[in-house]
Amino acid sequence: MPTPQPFSTIALPQSYELCRDIMASHGRTYSLATRLLTPRQQRAVWSLYAWARIVDDYVDCPADADRSPTHIEATVTRLSELFHSAVVIGSLDDVHRDRDRAVISAAAQTFRDYDIDPQLSADFVHSMLMDVPDTSCHIAHFETWEQLDSYMWGSAAVIGLEMMPILGTRTGVSCEEATPYAEGLGKAFQVTNFLRDIAEDFRRGRIYLPLNEWEAFGVGTEEIGYCATTGQTTPAVRQALAYFIARNRALYAEASSGVNMLEVPGRQAIRAAEILYSDILGEIERMNYNVFAQRAHVGRARKAKIALPLLFTAVAGRLRQELSGA
């Protein structure tokens, strides 16, 4: 692999600040959790989130006369190739949009600093392109969990793997041991997003939660569409959502023990994200499963209650590390 060259024309501090602002605007729960990390870890996580966000923005932008699905696919594929070049050789010569250039410079630097495999980013982009209608890999409705798992590998699991070297594992635990838990937690977060965003996704022509599971409760695409259009639920839909929530909680339970494998303060940050994200499931239940009328979210008081004790623990852990190394 060629030796990467520094990004001489990019002011990395400002690029990281832009990434921070993107995360604060779009990922409030994750943004809160990053406050538990060290400044270096924060910058790295901001950049990974921002890179994922700009890819997602290109994918979710509605196609029109000037942006056909083929054009979107070509644009995102090219952006992915440029990111790979930025990681491997430090080249940003062909990245022209200021925002893209800043985010790619920061995220590529993070990949290089932590020796993250750029193939993980390519797998993420592939899954995002599965959301674009009329592209070569498009899937509008997922039929089974197995099919959805192949999508979530790129959309969720690889994010957990990218985070592993940034957060680090505690003494005596290898990254290989923690990897299955990182993948599982990424998928748990993703399924929660699917549950929360059913109505919005349907309006974009997407149904992520497997159709064969919906059909087990007698729910077809027409009934999901009725709920998304009217903002109401039906008994069968509520039963199906209760099942999906139970399955989502099982994913969190399977992944939860892996959080303790992480080093402080990453352990506290991921624990906060895990608790707050899984709390969304309780909010959906309190809404009587009506995710079609409003978006479930966790209130500020609850976020503070969870985050503050973990913040104190993280700070105490960092102080112990500094003192032991003195």
The pTM of this model reads 0.85
The count of residues in the chain is 326
pLDDT at 319: 45
Q: What does the radius of gyration of the chain's CA atoms come to, in whole angstroms? A: 20
Q: Per the structure block, which two tokens stand in for 168?
A: 């680090």
Cα gap 280→274, rounded to integer Å: 10
DSSP state, residue 6: P
What's the number of CA atoms in the CB half-sphere (13 Å) around residue 102? 16
Cα four-point dihedral sign 251, 260, 265, 160: negative
Q: Per the structure block, which two tokens stand in for 116?
A: 């993250």
- Count helices and strands (H / E) in the chain: 15, 0
| Count of CB atoms situated within 10 Å of the CB of 42 | 20
Question: Architecture of domain 11-138 in CATH?
Answer: Orthogonal Bundle (1.10)
Among left, alpha and beta (phi > 0; psi -120 to 50; other), residue 170 is: beta
Cβ–Cβ under 8 Å, residues 284 and 248: no
Q: What does CATH list as the number for 140-317?
A: 1.10.600.10
pLDDT at 308: 46
pLDDT at 64: 59
Cα gap 312→301, rounded to integer Å: 17
pLDDT at 326: 42
Cβ–Cβ under 8 Å, residues 83 and 51: yes
* 81 Cβ neighbours under 8 A, 6+ residues apart: none
pLDDT at 277: 87
Q: Indicate the burial class of 148 (C-beta count within 10 angstroms; 0-12, 13-18, 19 or more).
A: buried
Cα gap 152→42, rounded to integer Å: 24
Cα gap 137→148, rounded to integer Å: 13
Q: Per the structure block, which two tokens stand in for 155?
A: 């959309």
**Can you give the pLDDT of all 326 residues of the chain as single tens digits?**
455 545 544 588 899 999 999 999 987 777 777 888 889 999 999 999 999 999 998 888 765 546 788 888 988 999 999 999 999 888 776 666 788 889 999 999 999 999 999 999 999 999 999 999 888 899 999 999 999 999 999 999 999 999 999 999 999 999 899 999 999 999 999 999 999 999 999 999 999 999 999 999 999 999 999 999 999 999 999 999 999 999 999 999 999 999 999 998 888 888 888 888 899 999 999 999 999 999 887 656 555 544 444 444 444 454 445 445 54
pLDDT at 101: 87
Cα gap 81→73, rounded to integer Å: 12
Query: Is the backbone peptide bond immediately before 235 cis, with ω within 30 degrees of 0?
Result: no
Domain with CATH 1.10.600.10 in the chain: 11-138, 140-317
